[in-house]
Amino acid sequence: MTQGPSRRAVIAAAMAAPALVAARGGERVQPNWPSLVQHYRYPDWFRDAKFGIWSHWGPQAVPEQGDWYGRFLYMQGHPMADFHRKTYGHPTKFGMKDLFPLWKADRWEPEALMQRFVKAGAKYFVSLATHHDNLDCFDSSHHAWNTTRIGPKRDVVGTWERAARAAGLRFGVSNHISHAWHWYQPAYGYDPVGPRKGERYDAYRLTAADGRGQWWDGLDPQELYTGRHAVAPDGIDSIEAMNAWHDKHNGQWIETPPPGDRRFVRQWLLRQQELIEKYKPDLCYFDNHELPFGQTGLEAAAHYYNRSIDWHGKIDVVLTAKQLKPYARFGVVQDVERGFADKLWDEPWQTDTCIGDWFYNRSRFTDRSYKSAEDVVQRLADVVSKNGNLLLSVPQGGDGSIDAEEERILDDLAGWMAVNGEAIFGSRPWRVYGEGPTQLTAGMQNEGAFKGFDERDVRFTVNGGALYVLFLKRPARPVTIAALAGKRVARATLLGGGPVTVAQRAGGLAVTVPAGGRFVPVVKLEGAGLF
């Protein structure tokens, strides 16, 4: 994630591009990037909120094996494929569709969970609406494979929406459908080795007629699995060769339509528009690099913004996308999945991450490998200091519950927020985001290589005329902050109480906080000379 051109420069460049220019009549947003950039304004509620919690929850949580189960169960040799065969049977007979009725959500308590999320500091809540497994978790008129008919037999999105709004939170949805057409193609494959070598999996064989007398009677598996778009040919005779074929032909992250299948694209737009119309979300998360399907994605964005104008009299919603090019910057909100920014950005943006795997993985609990509350607060402080928000996923099991370790993490977050929330919520960046020896690498999907912060790493926020210094690791000795050299401090307060001293030194302002207390201590500095 790198600093790009200014908003004025982006608008000027976009309007100068002949292929993108469209009529600018009226107040309606047009489905092109110049119009999106020209009309979009970042809502104050989003700038103030800073922290959201995401229920990234669906049938792939049932096996408790982690992410992308619906793809990997079909890839012989993968640990999830081995688990699936031992637990449920061979995917020629028991495929991803057959996990859907096992998603019972029988211990799901949305109101109680929402209250816990509120205590943990969430100001907005996001519900997964549909993942790459192509099951709509809402009351969908355009896709029969949805949770009002299958699995929980409830409108999951609608239930979350009511709970979130009753708790005073802004509500969002996430849409991941556009990648289903290539993500699901291994379901049309076969085992390249072993006793069932060459026997095609369930997606390849099944039609609506095969459902007579089955639990899925009246449903068409081809509507779920999306059709034969990139099917492995006969004759592949090793796991390595099969994996290489999938990586090359259906394992890439692409935003183009399935070849020769405009119906999938049309259905995507209808489902997206219905999601917006029915639930009026304050935020919509697209799991896409920019917008999917070219012009169709632009139509979806313009529709969302225009509906917001109808609802609120202005664009008061957030649409997130990833890897924005300069012409798209300022037209939607940049999202950085599991990654970092290395600069203070002019405009609001968002990082999304998870305390574990996106879908529930039991081993995260048993081996205690979740992100701690300290990890989460460090990321929150870093992101907020750079004008961003943090969207945090807390995975639920297939039954809808969270485990005891997740509860403890949320409780620890609640304790920190109760003391230090004024440094986060409603804050704005200072003239620099912070300082310290740790150099973060900008980009997506790189947090796994991160080794941790140093006690000299600090971040700054501003709120209510005060400057807040957030120490990412609690220091055992005084920290000299170069950015505060020569600044006159009238008062220094450690949030939550306790002794704190500040003194100007040759290299900056030396700040001393007591050792041994809560993680990420925050010092509030007041004085006219700070700004």
pLDDT tens, position by position, 125-135 = 999 999 999 99
The rounded distance, in Å, linking the Cα atoms of 217 and 223 is 13
pLDDT tens, position by position, 474-517 = 999 999 999 999 999 999 999 999 999 999 999 999 999 998 88
Above 50 in pLDDT, residue 250? yes
CA–chain centroid gap for 493, Å, is 35
Residues 108, 399 contacting (CB under 8 angstroms):
yes
For CA atoms 284, 62, 80, 405, the dihedral sign is positive
Mean pLDDT across the stretch 290-303?
98
pLDDT tens, position by position, 158-167 = 999 999 999 9
Identity (one letter) of the amino acid at 91? P
Mean pLDDT across the stretch 361-383?
98
SS3 labels along 432-465 = CCEECCCCCCCECCCHHHCCCCCCCCEEEEEECC
Q: Kindly report whether the global pTM for this prediction surpasses the value 0.75.
A: yes
Those residues with Cβ within 8 angstroms of residue 59's Cβ, 6 or more apart along the chain or in another chain: 70, 96, 99, 100, 102, 103, 133, 135, 151, 398
Residues 145, 441 contacting (CB under 8 angstroms):
no
* C-alpha dist (Å) from residue 213 to 187, 208, 219, 389: 23, 11, 11, 49
Q: Residue 369: CA atoms inside 13 Å, Cβ hemisphere, count? A: 11
Residues 125, 172 contacting (CB under 8 angstroms):
yes
What DSSP element (H or E) covers 81? helix 79-87
Q: Residue 169: CA atoms inside 13 Å, Cβ hemisphere, count? A: 30
Quick one: pLDDT at residue 10?
Answer: 62
Confidence of residue 22 (pLDDT cuts 50, 70, 90): very low
Average of per-residue pLDDT values in the chain: 95
pLDDT tens, position by position, 171-229 = 999 999 999 999 999 999 999 999 999 999 999 999 999 999 999 999 999 999 999 99
From edge to edge, which strands make up the β-sheet containing 466-471? Answer: 434-435, 458-463, 466-471, 522-526, 491-494
| Phi/psi at 508 (5° precision) | 150, -165
DSSP string across 211-277: GTTSTTTT--HHHHH--SSSPPPTT--SHHHHHHHHHHHT-S---SPPTT-HHHHHHHHHHHHHHHH
Q: And the tokens for 65?
A: 């094996």
Residues 460, 423 contacting (CB under 8 angstroms):
no
The rounded distance, in Å, linking the Cα atoms of 403 and 386 is 32
Q: Please give the share of the chain, as a percent, with pLDDT higher than 70.
A: 95
Quick one: pLDDT at residue 516?
Answer: 86
Q: How many CB atoms lie within 10 A of CB 311?
A: 12
| Phi/psi at 136 (5° precision) | -75, 120
Quick one: pLDDT at residue 293?
Answer: 98
Quick one: pLDDT at residue 434?
Answer: 98
Vertex 289: Cα angle to 288 and 292 (nearest 5): 55
The rounded distance, in Å, linking the Cα atoms of 188 and 232 is 7
Confidence of residue 7 (pLDDT cuts 50, 70, 90): low
pLDDT tens, position by position, 435-485 = 999 999 999 999 999 999 999 999 999 999 999 999 999 999 999 999 999
SS3 labels along 344-385 = CCCCCEEEEEECCCCCCEHHHHHCCCCCCHHHHHHHHHHHHH
Confidence of residue 241 (pLDDT cuts 50, 70, 90): very high
Q: How many CB atoms lie within 10 A of CB 428?
A: 11
Identity (one letter) of the amino acid at 505? R
Confidence of residue 9 (pLDDT cuts 50, 70, 90): low
| Phi/psi at 31 (5° precision) | -80, 65
Residues 184, 202 contacting (CB under 8 angstroms):
no
The rounded distance, in Å, linking the Cα atoms of 374 and 386 is 19
Q: Please give the share of the chain, as a percent, with pLDDT higher than 90.
A: 94
The rounded distance, in Å, linking the Cα atoms of 362 and 364 is 5
Quick one: pLDDT at residue 529?
Answer: 86
The rounded distance, in Å, linking the Cα atoms of 472 and 475 is 9
